[in-house]
Structure 1
């Protein structure tokens, strides 16, 4: 993998502090992977974010590199970092942020320092959930008359039918509900299963 997929955003935060435990300049790089879930309203194409969730861990979640003053160039650092990540694009982004931070803190880099680098890869995941249209006569008899989340009349707003259990709620209500839970408010059936992401 030579590039980060288009649907992945990279956030890099670098901080530098004096090292009290080591006599060698060190870079501690932590890598995190998160999924940002979105629900797409099929009737009008609007997209609502329902939250940020942990994703399966990356193959290399932590890298520790010694930074020798006279031997560490950006090119050398890029090569050493990429030997762990096997992703030149991501390695280059991290090294550029580290170099930028080192330049800003040049005043105290004569002392041994610890450079903490937190890298968060956020991948967008989209789910299409059908929004029910105008109900037929038979469906009206079976359908709930009130949204069990807000207890208001179901006919007042757009409705959304969950894919596995087919229970219906106001689109606005179930979107808010799914930001903190991954189950149907009525039957507790899991809404998004792992196979939905693959």
Structure 2
């Protein structure tokens, strides 16, 4: 860790092995913001005056769902969300079950399920657009009428990595400042 700036909530910390550019990152903070940038992408978060207090976590855990709500700017290469085929399939099954709940028409339900499996679940969609197009083309009454509102994505690997790096970086900073404080005392 190289401390480039450390003035209250104005900080610039570089985490990089000498001579190596793989998985390095920089944490920059200013009032109400934290930015992480480097080899794995760039993200800016905003929540509290001192963002180190927001992300500080002794256990090393991350709170992806909550922290992503505080994301203000995202990486230009991959963004912060990506299509997840498993999420897609789970949502299809949920919609199907909800649609047919309480029905006594088991023959129609069985035929519809067969079509859902063949047209939607048995296909390994790689992109959100092709999955959504398949749902839009699926013909069975109003089974998937509101499916366009359904989120079919998950946070990217780079975002998860960045969140873990933030927590780890803050832990390194805290240990270094604690050691410096103890040495000065």
- Which of the five TM-score ranges fits, normalised by the shorter chain? under 0.3
Q: Which has the higher contact order (CA 8 A, sep 6+)?
A: 1
TM-score with structure 1 length normalisation? 0.23
The structure in which a higher percent of residues are helix is 2
Taking structure 2 as the reference length, the TM-score comes to 0.24
User: Per residue, is there more strand in 1 or in 2?
Assistant: 1
Higher radius of gyration, 1 or 2: 1
